[in-house]
Amino acid sequence: MKKVVKFGGSSLASARQFKKVGDIIRSDKTRRYVIPSAPGKRNSKDEKVTDMLYACYDAASTGASYKKILERIRSRYMEIIDGLDLNLDHEFDRIEENFVKGIGRDYAASRGEYLNGQIMAAYLGYEFIDAAEVIFFDEEGNFEADSTNQELSERLEHVERAVIPGFYGSMHDGSIKTFSRGGSDITGSIVARAIHADMYENWTDVSGFLVTDPRIVENPAVIETITYKELRELAYMGAGVLHEDAIFPVRKEGIPINIRNTNRPEDKGTLIVESTCRKPRYTITGIAGRKGFCSVNIEKAMMNAEVGFGRKVLQVFENYGISFEHMPSGIDTMSIMLHQDEFEEYEQSVIAGIHRAVHPDAVELESGLALIAVVGRGMKATRGTAGRIFSALAHARINVKMIDQGSSELNIIIGVKDADFEQAIQAIYNIFILADM
């Protein structure tokens, strides 16, 4: 049995947190490969080391004063290594030299993980493997999955236990390249794939995925098991915790991910799997949503008989590089739902383009819409799910502007007014989770 364990920034923000992480790793011998993030926030007012590194680099590379912020970064690490037989002076000298030289922002940001990796390796007595030697990006900065997988699996084959810092790798010319923010999750997944791990544990500061956003619903239930597909749907609609791209490497290998809480290691967390026979506890797995959509409503008599109508309309959006979210249609009507901020700049050109392309009777815009995704494998072949959603919304006096159920029966998307968003989520939560508890 082999596990890859990734620890997020808040799990490694201080000496106290490091101690908890050490205990977690030592309590299970199969936790052999460790992926640390950079130190995160110790409390809500604190700063993430990654943000401090960006700021420090921007100052140092442009000749502005940077010593104070570098000192603050150094003291974050000093607090962590206090009591450890480790000296980071030479590392900081080299970092400072490179910053002043203007070596690159990605290099700067990556030092947070790099230093935490050094510390973690010393702390555990594990081998340190620099991610720059095993994770690769092409000249355009795209992650190279195949060469990385090969190098990493060969390298780790004979290494019993190792620490590999998250978030970065290197380009062919040797320069450092990072993933997007929160990218240590991706590193963990890549390592899990390379060593054919039995489990990828992702340790954070919550006890797993919550059924919905705790800022909207007080104390929502934790999701025990979720499939990759369901997670994709929820993550797309804004549910956080794991980096969106982190599921792809492990998904290829059918490796489960377990989201765990460093501050409550006794909690089981959420298990993310390819497929499962386990019956979900509730009919729905999760509810997520986003505000800030608009719709372009097109009307034309006899639209249904006009071959190629939809294609011509969508071509107009494609011409402006705008992707659409949903496209509910009637016999003589068609609506295209879009992200308002992506669309605003082009709205008049798009309307003109649609007129030219399909000569509609009318084109209308509606803004201030929110989309809510109700997701769950348990909905498949279960009668009455849609009925329950809509009666809950009707009782809450919420008008439904759009409905879209995918053929997979994995989700139902509902469009409501922005102003009704929170209340709609609460109503759906109440009917499926509270009522079934």
Q: Is 76 in the site for ligand ASP (CB under 6 A)?
A: no
Name the residue number minimizing CB distance to ligand ASP. Answer: 184
Nearer to ligand ASP, 52 or 296 (CB): 52
Q: How far is the CB of 237 from ligand ASP (least distance, A)?
A: 21
Is 166 an interacting residue with respect to ligand ASP (CB under 6 A)?
yes
Residue 339 CB neighbour total at 10 angstroms? 16
Q: 52: which 2 tokens?
A: 């401090």
CA 337 from chain center: how many Å? 23
Segment interacting with ligand ASP (CB under 6 A) among 181-189, 245-253, 415-423, 429-437 = 181-189
Binding range to ligand ASP, per CB under 6 A, among 100-108, 178-186, 215-223, 425-433: 178-186
Considering only CA atoms, which of 104, 131, 128 is closest in space to residue 118? 128
From candidates 107, 137, 167, 317, binder to ligand ASP by CB under 6 A: 167
CB of 361 to ligand ASP, least distance (A): 49
* Strand, coil or helix: 198: coil
> Does 181 contact ligand ASP by CB under 6 A?
yes
Binds ligand ASP by CB under 6 A, chosen from 48, 251, 377, 388:
48
- Helix (H/G/I), strand (E/B), else coil: 357: helix
Choosing from 117, 165, 169, 182, the residue that interacts with ligand ASP (CB under 6 A) is 182
Angle at 246 between CA 241 and CA 252, to 5 degrees: 140
Could you tell me which of 215, 269, 209, 217 has the C-alpha nearest to residue 234? 209
List, in order, residues 6 or more apart from 419 with CB less than 8 Å away. 368
Q: For residues 184 and 270, which CB has a smaller minimum distance to ligand ASP in the complex? A: 184
**Residue entry with tokens 């915790």:** 241
Least distance in angstroms from the C-beta of 242 to ligand ASP = 10
Sheet holding 257-261, edge to edge: 127-128, 162-163, 31-36, 3-7, 199-204, 257-261, 270-273, 225-227
Dihedral angle sign, alpha carbons of residues 174, 178, 184, 187:
negative
Query: Which position among 10, 50, 212, 225 is part of the footprint of ligand ASP (CB under 6 A)?
Result: 50
The total number of residues shown for the chain amounts to: 437
Q: Please tell me the distance from the alpha carbon of residue 107 to that of residue 112, in angstroms, as a whole number.
A: 10
Of 5, 31, 98, 112, the one binding ligand ASP by CB under 6 A: 112
For residue 61, what are the contacts with CB-CB under 8 A and spacing of at least 6? Answer: 99, 100, 101, 102
Element (H, E) at 145: helix 145-157
> Quick one: which segment of 21-29, 179-187, 222-230, 342-350 binds ligand ASP (CB under 6 A)?
179-187
Q: Of 167 and 317, which has the nearer Cβ to ligand ASP?
A: 167
**Residue of 11, 14, 37, 189 interacting with ligand ASP (CB under 6 A):** 37
Site for ligand ASP in 290-349 (CB under 6 A): none
Q: Which one of 175-183, 193-201, 251-259, 373-381 is the stretch in contact with ligand ASP (CB under 6 A)?
A: 175-183
Least distance (Å) from ligand ASP to the CB of residue 205?
A: 12
Footprint on this chain of ligand ASP (rule: CB under 6 A): 9, 37-38, 48, 50, 112, 166-167, 181-184
